[in-house]
């Protein structure tokens, strides 16, 4: 029973810390590194935000079954982000066509029509099919896909109820 509890505690911490670290990296690269996210980058963020909330709730709800369900749902949200990351990386590597238009970083409102048009024209366009940064040929979307899929599967593996032994009868 203690081993099952230890696995749950580990799964719960991973479910909270993994998407938190990935979002810290994404937001840091945006606000500190100047890498503006495209539309598909934003799509990958929403499941991580969801996973953070679900995992955080798993630390405060009293019912054990609800804690386990929240951690499992957080793992599924992390996996969804990983799936979106696979799709986005495929668009970046030109394996398939994307389903979205490019994004812009324009902000601000008000002013004359000319002012608004100038802001639109001066805003850089962030293309979904061109990685802004890569390491060893892997883009940020690719890293998100790898880390999220491995992490989400690890959480679900830790949540399993039975201990699987290769030397069982």
For each successive 10 residues of the chain (169 residues), what is the average pLDDT?
80 95 90 83 91 96 92 96 90 78 55 73 67 76 91 94 54
Which position has the token pair 């949200």? 77
Cα Rg, the chain, nearest whole Å: 20
Q: Are 158 and 14 in contact (CB under 8 A)?
A: yes
Indicate the pTM of the whole model: 0.76
102/126 Cα distance (integer angstroms): 6
Fill in the DSSP letter of residue 124: P
Within 13 Å and on the Cβ side, how many CA atoms surround 12? 19
What does the block give as tokens for 117? 């048009």
Instruction: Name 64's Cβ contacts closer than 8 Å, sequence gap at least 6.
Output: none
For position 132, what pLDDT does the model report? 79
SS3 label, residue 135: strand
């Amino acid at each position: 029973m203690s081993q099952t509890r230890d696995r749950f505690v580990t799964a719960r911490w991973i479910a909270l810390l993994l998407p938190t670290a990935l979002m810290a990296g994404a937001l840091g690269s945006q606000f500190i590194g100047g890498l503006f996210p495209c539309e598909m980058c934003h799509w990958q963020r929403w499941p991580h935000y969801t996973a953070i909330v679900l995992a955080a709730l798993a630390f405060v709800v009293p019912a054990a079954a609800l804690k386990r369900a929240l951690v499992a749902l957080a793992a599924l949200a992390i996996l969804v982000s990983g799936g979106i990351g696979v799709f986005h990386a495929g668009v970046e590597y030109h394996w398939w066509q994307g389903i979205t238009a490019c994004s812009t970083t324009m902000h601000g409102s008000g002013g004359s029509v000319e002012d608004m048009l100038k802001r639109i024209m001066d805003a850089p366009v962030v293309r979904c099919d061109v990685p802004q940064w890569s390491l060893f040929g892997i883009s940020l979307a690719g890293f998100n896909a790898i880390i999220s899929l491995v992490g989400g599967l690890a959480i679900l593996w830790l949540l399993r109820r039975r201990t699987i032994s290769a030397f069982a009868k």
